[in-house]
Amino acid sequence: MQRTTVWSWLIGGLLLLLQSALAVLASLAVQADDPVSVPLELGGALLVAAACVVYAFGVRAHESVVARHPAGMGVLFLLAAFVVAHAVWWAGPTGYAAGAGAESTAALGDIVAFVLAVGGAIAILRVGVIPQPWSRIPLAALVLGLLLAIVFAAVPVVAPGAGGPVGVLPATIPGVVGIVSMVLAVTTSPAAPRETTAAAGATARHG
């Protein structure tokens, strides 16, 4: 059987790459205290949401990274809705414009988005549509992104004046994941979902 391009992974990867580019620009704008970071972050959130929907549902059913299982799709759709809602709130009068008073709420929103993203990554890993070891990449990328964010958040505290543009590194991680996704889209094919394989085995044993 001839292998065909996995369009969901190609499109989703391109969306993540574009989001990463906007995230880097937004991070630089934040460092410069430039309010243009707000629309950049909103644009990035829309791209993330679109990527979540594409990956969850799939252009074709067998391309869904969660095999269209309700729980996995639910987590990814919830993540998509939340990141957009959070970005819209941040762009409004009670977000960025409110100054320091909104920072704690923004941080809480980031934590919620991270937890939802971890849930989505675990669902992808458990279903196994993305072949091993590549299915581990989303979760590994989230952990790496968290570690880098912690490191670069601590740098100004322990070494004032240090950091600089290197602080945008966490924003590049989705882009790397996107590139991997696009490469996989043209070099591999979706695997049979583990649950489906297990169910088929059980049917054969009891048939």
pLDDT on residue 164 = 55
CA atoms within 13 A on the CB side of 76: 27
Q: Are 117 and 145 spatial neighbours (Cβ–Cβ below 8 Å)?
A: no
Q: What is the DSSP letter of 131?
A: P
Tell me the pLDDT of the chain (207 aa) as tens digits. Answer: 456 899 999 999 999 999 999 999 998 998 888 999 999 999 999 999 999 999 999 999 999 999 999 999 999 999 999 999 999 999 999 898 888 888 899 999 999 999 999 999 999 999 999 999 999 999 999 999 989 888 877 765 555 554 556 568 889 999 999 999 999 999 999 999 986 444 434 433 444
Cα separation, 203 vs 82, in Å, equals: 39
pLDDT on residue 155 = 61
Largest CA distance in the chain: 69
9 Cβ contact list (under 8 Å, min separation 6): 55, 63, 65, 130, 181, 182, 184, 185
The tens digit of pLDDT for each residue in 85-137 reads 999 999 999 898 888 888 899 999 999 999 999 999 999 999 999 999 999 99
H helices of the chain, in order, are 7-31, 37-57, 70-91, 103-127, 137-158, 169-187, 194-206
pLDDT on residue 98 = 86
Closest CA to 72 of 84, 85, 58, 88: 58
- For 121, counting Cβ atoms within 10 Å of its Cβ (0-12 exposed, 13-18 middle, 19+ buried), the class is buried
Q: Are 148 and 173 spatial neighbours (Cβ–Cβ below 8 Å)?
A: yes
pLDDT on residue 186 = 95
